[in-house]
Structure 1
């Protein structure tokens, strides 16, 4: 049975939202802004695979959120998708992504352009998207 004081403290914490701010602060080790300013919501990230014969870098020292990001980025994912998957604010996610990029465990790139080689819009692609949406 939970002591009455513990129930009251839990209720007070839930009411003022204090608990929701502690976790992001601790997983970023107190950092409030990402070191990189080139990560946007649509930046695509991919886990770096070591070259054949190279040892796999140890992931033991990584936080659980870092490991989730690396597993999720086995297939390319955007910053916004990762933040949603982790259920964390985008700013916190960017800090974690910056850590992994700095360690050489992730690569970041701008999303592929929809425009064709001539710089115009690829009408075939847009038509395929339209048709696919209509089938939904």
Structure 2
């Protein structure tokens, strides 16, 4: 320490540890209650999985839903959305959106359509042969 200094030479200033543009640092943790997994069902939400509102889902009991849950429901109200689109639309991290979607799935508010695995997609060669056969007609 130098003469006349009152504190440590490495004392951090408040602006170094907190940035106004970053927003509240604890918010995602608080939104999910500290959870990092999407519920006890262990549902996995791929980025391209489509999320749709359930047709018979109760719409009046939104009191059990937080504001972020309601924002996700509103985005799905007009059309099916992918997990990536929901994260972008709500400006939330994908991990947080996955946990919140797990809550909505357990409440029966949404359904999830998983993408078709590449092994189940038709072979490109077969599709070309079908196209060529159609052209020959």
Structure 1 counterpart of 2:53: 47
Structure 2 counterpart of 1:64: 67
Max Rg structure = 2
Structure 1 counterpart of 2:92: 88
In structure 1, stretches of 5+ residues that fail to align are 1-7, 124-136
In structure 2, stretches of 5+ residues that fail to align are 1-12, 129-137
Report 1:98-113 matches (<5 A). 98-111=102-115
Off by >4 Å, runs of 4+ in structure 1: 8-12
* Deviation (angstroms), 1:10: 7.6
Structure 2 counterpart of 1:22: 26
How many residue pairs match? The answer is: 111
Alignment check: 8 A CA contact 2:38 2:44 kept: no
* Deviation (angstroms), 1:76: 0.4
TM-score in terms of structure 1 length: 0.66
CA change 1:56–1:87 in 2 (3 A) is closer
* Deviation (angstroms), 1:13: 2.5
Take 1:38 and 1:25, find their aligned partners in 2: how far apart are those partners?
Answer: 19
* Deviation (angstroms), 1:113: 7.9
Let me know the Cα RMSD of the aligned residues: 3.2
TM-score in terms of structure 2 length: 0.65
Structure 2 counterpart of 1:32: 36
